Amino acid sequence: MRTVTYKGLTFEPYINNNTISERINEIANSLAQKLGPDEKPLFLCVLTGAFPFAADLFRAYPYDAEIAFIRLKSYEGTGSTGVVKQVLGLSENIENRTVIIIEDIIDTGNTMVKLVADLKQKNPKQVLIATLLFKPESLVADVKPDFIGFEIPSKFIIGFGLDLDGMARNLPDIWVLSEKHDE
């Protein structure tokens, strides 16, 4: 089987780029159907991991929209540190606007809960969550994503924006940590 290796860990193919692209187009259409042509939502890309998803989703969205970026961090290596800190803030005025948070993955949900709470203090019209990946078994926080690309088991994945300590974000496909071990 084709594999890739980062930091001594082996990853197997999991979701290929065509499948990802098709799903992103479906999400863009669902969003357009929900919001209609006049809503002019603000896509809020959570850096760094969500940028490939955000770029594709934003371009597939058929109506007027804006995009902004925010950076948060809660992860080191392959396990959550549980600490969510905002590194790069939002300068756009979101009062009375529809904000669509664009995330790469929701794992424990701690990142999303903190972000949604921060945004709601700025009186948006509504906050929607679009996540490319969702690990429902890992969820500890009270979060319900409005748009989900793929629901996956609680396995560590890389590629299409997702990283292992900064590496592998540029892989066009998504790869999963191999559970096979050499004897």
How many residues contact Mg ion, by CB under 5 A? Answer: 1
Shortest spacing between CB 46 and Mg ion, in angstroms: 6
Residue (56 or 104) nearer to ligand IMP, CB: 104
Q: Which of 49, 52, 145, 149 binds ligand IMP (CB under 6 A)?
A: 49
Helix (H, G, I), strand (E, B) or coil at 8: coil
| Whether 146 is catalytic | no
Contact in structure between 53 and 161 (CB atoms under 8 Å): yes
Q: Is 173 in the site for ligand IMP (CB under 6 A)?
A: no
Query: What does the block give as tokens for 149?
Result: 């690309």
Given candidates 39, 110, 145, 175, which one binds ligand IMP under the rule CB under 6 A? 110
Among 52, 46, 92, 45, smallest CA distance to 72 is for: 46
Question: From edge to edge, which strands make up the β-sheet containing 4-6?
Answer: 4-6, 9-15, 174-177, 157-158
Q: Is residue 178 within the footprint of ligand IMP (CB under 6 A)? A: no
Among 35, 57, 90, 162, contact with ligand IMP (rule: CB under 6 A): 162
CA–CA distance, 154 with 182 (Å, rounded to integer): 22
> Quick check: 49 binds Mg ion (CB under 5 A)?
yes
Letter for the amino acid at 166? G
Residue 59: which H helix or E strand, with range? helix 51-60
51 is a contact residue toward ligand IMP (CB under 6 A): no
x-or-dash string of contact with Mg ion, 28-47, rule CB under 5 A: --------------------
Positions marked active-site? 107
